[in-house]
Copies of this chain bind each other. A is one copy, B any other.
């Protein structure tokens, strides 16, 4: 059965029922189904809001992953932005544009994937919109709350800061490269570093923070783009997943380049003042592996040493 057979009102009702089954925390005063949703922040909290789209044949291909995985990734991309601000999730809205020819089973898969991550991270679906279109796209707006004045931002970076990254980078890019060569579907969905982000808001010597969605190099550029700083990155320190080099070489890929330009890692890339905690202490506070990969210097002082010719890695839309 296709969406065109279902009709708009039944389509909306179907998504609403799934959202209600998934439940919602007490701070949701009014969930899906009215003109707007109502959410309650705690006193002394600021609202954090971020928006991201996944577009068919740009961000995903139906053949390289299940609808469920696409749904999961769509929400995770937004939750990762909340993590990078140190926010706790409150809820999200979904604007779905889709052709009427989409299979209802595919829609159900997308929604199930979204709601799986929603439950896992306490971030309920609170509203949305469906519209006909020639290609499928999911636009998600995620809402979060952060203690007043304590949000992590890119602006926090300073000269001399030490640069850290959580977890490992490159794994998702390798999985994508394999899928694009027909060597299996994308199954692993990186998890947003929500707990780590919130723990970072309590680190007194914290600098700036960003999540790695476009690729380590590109997001490092984003982190520094309004500054006169540059990063001195020790390439050999970039934390790679186990077996990553060998797997890359088997595919004819250069491991370091893939790790720095791949993207969708959803690790946190952040800076800490020189007097702040080191990687070991940070790892304990954040509950995740943390690696020191470099330092921020005045832009003129840094000799850039990047693999490949592109100044940014990362996907460009235009």
Partner pick for A141 among B34, B82, B141, CB 8 A cutoff:
B141
A151 lies within 8 A of B53 (CB): no
Complex interface bits, A130-171 against B, C-beta within 8 A gives 1, otherwise 0:
111111010101111010100101110000000000000000
Point out the residue from B50, B95, B126, B317 that lies within 8 Å of A131, measured CB to CB.
B317
Stretch in A35-43, A112-120, A239-247, A249-257 touching the partner? A35-43
Whether B58 and A47, one on each chain, are in contact in the complex, defined by CB atoms closer than 8 angstroms, is no
Query: Which chain B residue has the least Cβ–Cβ distance from A148?
Result: B40
Is A180 close to B, CB under 8 A? no
Which residue of B41, B82, B97, B131 is within 8 Å of A41 (Cβ)?
B41
| Residue A129, interface by CB 8 Å | yes
Q: Which of A6-14, A62-70, A198-206, A286-294 lies at the interface?
A: A6-14
A264: interface (CB < 8 Å)? no
Whole-angstrom distance between the alpha carbons of A18 and B134 in the complex? 30
Asked if residues A55 and B132 are in contact (CB atoms below 8 Å), the reply is yes
Per the bound structure, the CA–CA distance linking A306 and B46 in Å amounts to 47
Count of chain A residues with Cβ under 8 Å from any Cβ of B?
70
B97 touches A137 (CB 8 A): yes
Beta-carbon contacts under 8 Å, A77-99 to B: 81-82, 84-85, 87, 90-91, 93-95, 97
**A188 contacts partner chain B, Cβ-Cβ < 8 Å:** no
Contact B47 A151 (CB under 8 A): no
Check A210 for interface membership: any CB of B closer than 8 A: yes
Q: Smallest Cβ distance from A159 to chain B, in angstroms?
A: 20
Question: Which of A91, A146, A153 has most B Cβ within 10 Å?
Answer: A153
Question: Residue on B with the closest CB to A85?
Answer: B36
Across the interface, A95 reaches (CB within 8 A) one of B8, B52, B143, namely B52
The answer to whether B49 and A151 touch across the interface, beta carbons within 8 angstroms, is no
**A51 at interface by CB-CB < 8 Å:** yes
Q: A284 an interface residue at 8 Å Cβ cutoff?
A: no
List the B side residues contacting A48 at CB < 8 Å. Answer: 36-38
- Can you give 14 contacting A-B residue pairs, CB < 8 Å? A7-B318, A8-B317, A30-B151, A35-B84, A35-B85, A35-B210, A38-B48, A40-B46, A40-B47, A47-B47, A47-B143, A97-B97, A100-B318, A129-B139
A51-B127, A53-B97 known, 17 other contacts, Cβ within 8 Å: A30-B151, A35-B84, A36-B48, A36-B49, A36-B87, A37-B48, A37-B49, A41-B47, A49-B93, A51-B94, A55-B133, A59-B131, A95-B95, A100-B317, A129-B139, A130-B317, A131-B317
